[in-house]
Structure 1
Amino acid sequence: MLALPAITRASVANVRPYEISVEVSDASLQRNRLTFDQVAGAIRGNSLDLPGGAIKTDRGELLLRTQGQAERGEEFGRIEVTTRDDGTRVLLEDVARVVDGFADTGQEFRFDGRPAALVRVSQVGSQDLREISAEVRRYVSESRGKYPEDVTLTVWNDQSSLLVDRLATLIDSGLQGLVLVLVVLALFLRPHLALWVAAGIPIALLGAVFLLFCLGVSIDAISLIGFILVLGLLVDDAVVVGESAYVAQREGAGQLAGAIEGARRVFVPVTFGVLTTVAAFVPMLFLTGVAGQFMAAVAAPVICCLAFSLIECHVILPLHLGHRPDSMPLGEFGIAVLAVAVLAAVVLAADVRDAIGLVVGVLCLVVAA
């Protein structure tokens, strides 16, 4: 399995440790005129690695070492115990029974009522857990027929399913949040404002992913908890800034000047509102132990998302709200309806193919209308 390109670490677990035992009977010792100490001394003297010194060269120092440590039962069986007067050698397998097996620990592992061994495949560094899972499942499916009939391979406790489920939860929650923001703000404020406020969700998420990548933090099942947790907080500051800009523009400040004035009015409360939330997660980064690692993996995405959300609402959002074209191809309300319809089609679709079909159908209907 380690020969597969996507798998770097695999180990056998829940099995008895390997053990090589040498069983010598009294009759065999008497027949070969040996003692137990002689047999033990032969094994001890012929199964070992010895250092042979070092050679200094212009390129460095070379270490010499003789490798004579026996690793398998047949290697122990070929160890010479003694030599008879006629010159014949007496090997260990001639005077003893070498058992290459497992230690008698009483340990037993069963799966579905049958004796089993567990092969644990682990992720290393930034490897994709989903790719590893797919590679293992492909190996298991292709290995049928390669082993005896009573030997079967089964995938158990696949942790990638948890990652896939949380990714699906994050995507579904994000799409539903986008739809709600678009609908509510389009009804009570303006469709143009609703579009740019809703755009703050993917901007903050993508910015957080980029920052986590730069910091060396991987996206896994634990860090996804932080993304899901902060998802409902990403548009709070953008909604406040957007509503303030809308009020300033309605008061006659102008398109660009109203957006800047609206962002300036709520700069302090919005900034400190985000900072107080960040302050609640910062101590989690300095916890120790296993629990500290878990908390840090959750807190890092939250802090990164909130930081990019704050930058987006103070820098990017006012610029978008201050530059609105006089006319749009489908009208301001038509664009908002199209965005809501596309997001709703993606949320309701069963798979990617259905989502693409629904998006194309909605786009055709809106253009035709």
Structure 2
Amino acid sequence: QLYGDTDRQTLQALAEKLKEDLLARDEISRVAVSGWLDPMMVVEIDEARLQGFGLSLSDVEDAINTGSTTPLTAVLRNDSTYLQLQASEQAYTATDFAALPLVTTADGRQIRLGDVTHISDTFDDSSAVLSRFNRHDSIAVQVITAGNGDISKTVDAARAVEQEWRRGGVLPTTVALTSWYDRSTNINERLDLLVRNAVTGIALVFVLLALFLNLQVALWVAAGLPFIFFGTLFLMSDSMLGLTLNAFTTFGFIMALGIVVDDAVVVGESVYTERSRHGDTLANTVRGTMKVAVPTLFGVFTTVAAFFALSHIEGRLGVLYSQFAIIVTLCLILSIIESKLILPAHLAHINTRKRGPGNPVAALWQRCQHGADSGLVWLNERCYKPLIHRAIIHRYTVVILFIALFILVMSMPFTGAVRFSFFPDVPGDTARAQLTMNNDASFGMTHANLLRIEEAAYAADQQLGGDGAQAYILNLQVMSEADQSGQITLELSDEAPYDINEFTRRWQQLVGMPEGARTVVVQNTPRQVDALRVELRADSDDTLMQAGTVLRAELERLNGVSGIEDNLQPGQPQLNLELTAQGRALGLTTADLARQVLQSFSGQVVQRYQRNADEIEVKVRYPETERRNATDVLNARVRTDDGSVVPLSSVARVSFGYTRDSIIRIDGKRAVYISADIDKEVLSATELVSGLRNELAPDLERQFPGLDIHFAGEAEEQAETASSMEKMFALALVAIYMLIAIPLRSYVQPLVIMAAIPFGVVGAVLGHWLNDLPLGILSLNGIIALSGVVVNDSLLLVARFNETRAEYSSLHAAITEACSGRLRAVLLTSVTTFAGLVPLLGETSLQAQFLIPAAVSLGYGILFATLITLILIPALLRIQYDIHEVLIKIPGRGLAEQTC
């Protein structure tokens, strides 16, 4: 950003040079300049003096085109000569144009262009531009990363140019250069978040495994993560899938942290148990791996199925989440290779025999391991086995209690105990105010309001920041390149004693509704669609205007609704000119009238020429003092064919009206829209749309027959996404069922295993309640992913039960042994998964807020579903056999055989 107390010519010259220096870098391919004014040579007519010499605007135009010509070339060439001929008389400066001959008087005196006009080397004012930065005039030079370009390299190259300018003395003392709105910071922060969570997560997983298993097992399980992540990065490369490290792929890595170690933990625990019981041999390593190979393999497949469904959700966010799901899927596939092939090879060399402590630290660690192992044994023998025993005996009571718990928790979003916001607002690191003025507002009023909004931002900072003189607004940009709109963007310091949500609310309060403003939207969350958009359709414009006015008034009185915008206004004000019979009698045509009015008020571009890097337009027009309002148009004078000058009002009828930029038709009906912003901490879009649809919409349709009301914006996006999510969730459940049925060879046992899924959802809802987070699309995506993860523990229990069923004559004993024998593996996989997500759940950075709802769904869902699974699955297994025993007594045993 170039800014300072200097003239526009200096700023634009510096901006042009800066753009050239940036584009000279190989890493930078696109640079956009905002706040730019096109250079223009303006020739303003003194009508009185022009008439004194009997001249018109057309005579001035002819004089310019005759006296100032672009280079004309010709070539003299024959068998012995080649010579280029050029004739040029181009005027380049205001002085050059002022010297052009216009007319010679009767006494031989030559009248030049500068004698009857005022010529200025200035800028095009056809589009009013207001560009300020930190309360100074400025020009913004924006570096844009093209396609799949590396944003970090692009930013580094831009910063290098900035440093060269600072060191090279390019800038005058009155101009400053600064860089801001750096989007690479988001990527770098996400990468830092990934590394920080990876290190912390791996450390927690390592400590847990080392405590409950063996230091060597923990080391080799943790060592598999770099293989998985670097392997995924290789598959992302341009030579493979061509994916980039962006917001969603880095989030995919973070979410994968807690998932990919699951099967490695199960394999490690199984091998460790087998070798510690039967000896440290290769055969026992293979046996330990093969015991859990099938359930863990299909457990990964169920997780892949869930993320595959997530990657095919329709809608705008579905495209983005597909990258997230692809990364997790790649990590899971590589985890199969690591846990089934690489990990067993490492574990084949570990020593599970107890050794005497070599030093005090080792002795202390052994005591910790012994305490953890003893504690787990005590938990298993003294607590869990008796609990299983009671759960099996009172199995129907257990199931009824869990169903009641499910109903109770799932009612929380409907009672308001857990808020629901389908598209929750995740605060950004910048705040923005967007101003839209009425269609008849002047650019002067627009600029004045923008300056008031700018001062309101500084006032909000001062009020919230306390009595101190320190300001917490780092950078503030004001930009308007249209007559009736503009925006202000600002960055706050990380040291501000208030959060960005608090700031935007105070800013909105101080701004209010400025004079002539249509809408003022203050927000800190980038929006792709309107929070609320209502489309009204009818055959009559009057019906649309009246219904729209009623709807807007209703929205204005609602708390939490702001930034209301519509296209109810009739359009831009317009003067319509119609040639009269008297005008035609004087030889004028409509084309003559339009041309002369255009020349007088908009000006006529009579020439274009190149000056350095700029194309300069030469425009002839009246001075600004003679073209300020409608009265000046009415007082304008028109030249007839015979050269006489008459008032415009004598040859044309002038009427006032409005024009629409466009007329919207939907299904053959005219349509208007009303949109609004919503403070989702006060009111969710779902609640607002539901209230409008059930209460206001029927009243409007009764009051205005023929009116159709359609809810778009987030409501439409939500309907599309929710419908797609329902289909994909159902598809994921079917895929999970089929994948579980294959290794179990049963139609009923997959249903027993999938009973964990609803209670994973219970855990996700409770997690949002505990963390005071609203349920939204990010949470629902986490729940879909959760459906593929929570079945893994149940699959381990049921697979083990199928083995013990053949070993024990008592069904009760087989269930108890299967569940207690897999207790350590189930607890370790769930706790390590949760531990991998714990660092993310504790993050307070803005970058983490986007992922935390999905992490809460996954982390708490797994933790809660595991606790439920350890109690519910034994009861369901016993109920399965109760049903089998009933059916076996019914004639025709085919159905009974299918229940087991």
TM-score, normalized by length of structure 1?
Answer: 0.68
1:16-27 superposed matches below 5 A: 17-18=37-38, 20=40, 23-26=44-47
1:352 aligns to what? none
Greater shift after overlay, 212-221 or 246-255?
246-255
Change (3 A) 1:174 1:92: farther
- Among 216, 219, 226, which residue is 2:245 paired with? 219
- Among 181, 193, 198, which residue is 1:157 paired with? 181
Q: Distance in 1 between matches of 2:254 and 2:63?
A: 65
Change (3 A) 1:257 1:100: farther
Q: Distance in 2 between matches of 1:292 and 1:73?
A: 56
2:27 aligns to what? 6
SS, match of residue 7 in structure 1: coil
SS, match of residue 118 in structure 1: strand
Q: Distance in 2 between matches of 1:173 and 1:122?
A: 30
- Among 215, 218, 221, which residue is 1:194 paired with? 218
Note the alpha carbon deviations across 1:226-273, whole angstroms, 9 max, x for none.
211221212111101111122222342753222322222222322232
1:274 aligns to what? 300
- Among 220, 238, 242, which residue is 2:268 paired with? 242
1:115 correspondence with 2:137: yes
CA contact (8 A) 2:43 2:117 kept: no
CA contact (8 A) 1:19 1:103 kept: no
Deviation at 1:171, TM superposition (A): 1.3
Q: Distance in 2 between matches of 1:47 and 1:288?
A: 60
1:143 aligns to what? 165
1:56-95 superposed matches below 5 A: none
Deviation at 1:172, TM superposition (A): 1.8
Greater shift after overlay, 225-234 or 37-46?
37-46
Q: Distance in 2 between matches of 1:111 and 1:185?
A: 55
Which structure has the greater CA radius of gyration?
Answer: 2
1:353 aligns to what? none
SS, match of residue 155 in structure 1: coil
Note the alpha carbon deviations across 1:90-139, whole angstroms, 9 max, x for none.
99999773654143444423221112222111223454333332332232
1:300 correspondence with 2:321: no
CA contact (8 A) 2:280 2:350 kept: no
CA contact (8 A) 1:22 1:99 kept: no
- Structure 2: gaps (5+ residues): 1-21, 71-89, 353-357, 366-900
Greater shift after overlay, 300-309 or 280-289?
280-289
Greater shift after overlay, 297-306 or 15-24?
15-24
- Among 164, 171, 183, which residue is 2:195 paired with? 171
Q: Distance in 2 between matches of 1:114 and 1:304?
A: 50
CA contact (8 A) 1:204 1:308 kept: yes
2:704 aligns to what? none
Note the alpha carbon deviations across 1:68-91, whole angstroms, 9 max, x for none.
xx9x9769x87xx999899x9x99
Change (3 A) 1:83 1:29: closer
2:204 aligns to what? 180
1:314 correspondence with 2:336: no
Q: Distance in 1 between matches of 2:143 and 2:248?
A: 19
CA contact (8 A) 1:28 1:96 kept: no
CA contact (8 A) 2:38 2:123 kept: yes
Greater shift after overlay, 30-39 or 154-163?
30-39
- Among 258, 265, 271, which residue is 2:284 paired with? 258
What residue identity is the alignment partner of 2:218? A
Deviation at 1:321, TM superposition (A): 1.6
What residue identity is the alignment partner of 1:121? V
Deviation at 1:195, TM superposition (A): 1.5
1:57 aligns to what? none
What residue identity is the alignment partner of 2:334? F
1:345 aligns to what? none
Note the alpha carbon deviations across 1:166-195, whole angstroms, 9 max, x for none.
222211221222222332222322222111
What residue identity is the alignment partner of 2:327? P
Greater shift after overlay, 208-217 or 173-182?
173-182
Deviation at 1:215, TM superposition (A): 0.4
SS, match of residue 136 in structure 1: helix
CA contact (8 A) 1:16 1:102 kept: no
Note the alpha carbon deviations across 1:264-285, whole angstroms, 9 max, x for none.
2222322232233333332443
SS, match of residue 116 in structure 1: strand
Give identity over the alignment, percent: 35
Change (3 A) 1:92 1:232: farther
TM-score, normalized by length of structure 2?
Answer: 0.30
Q: Distance in 2 between matches of 1:171 and 1:277?
A: 24
CA contact (8 A) 1:73 1:98 kept: no
Change (3 A) 1:83 1:40: closer
1:129 aligns to what? 151
Change (3 A) 1:40 1:256: farther
Deviation at 1:209, TM superposition (A): 0.6
SS, match of residue 199 in structure 2: helix
Greater shift after overlay, 285-294 or 31-40?
31-40
Q: Distance in 2 between matches of 1:153 and 1:33?
A: 52
Change (3 A) 1:16 1:3: closer
What residue identity is the alignment partner of 1:152? A
SS, match of residue 311 in structure 2: helix
RMSD, aligned CA: 4.2
- Structure 1: gaps (5+ residues): 49-69, 338-369
SS, match of residue 142 in structure 2: strand
Change (3 A) 1:37 1:300: farther
Deviation at 1:32, TM superposition (A): 7.7
Greater shift after overlay, 17-26 or 168-177?
17-26
Q: Distance in 1 between matches of 2:129 and 2:315?
A: 30
CA contact (8 A) 1:16 1:105 kept: no
CA contact (8 A) 1:73 1:99 kept: no
2:886 aligns to what? none
Change (3 A) 1:182 1:31: same
What residue identity is the alignment partner of 1:6? E
Change (3 A) 1:273 1:41: farther
Deviation at 1:153, TM superposition (A): 0.7
Q: Distance in 2 between matches of 1:42 and 1:290?
A: 58
Q: Distance in 1 between matches of 2:263 and 2:235?
A: 20
Q: Distance in 2 between matches of 1:158 and 1:107?
A: 24
CA contact (8 A) 2:131 2:139 kept: yes
Q: Distance in 2 between matches of 1:227 and 1:92?
A: 70
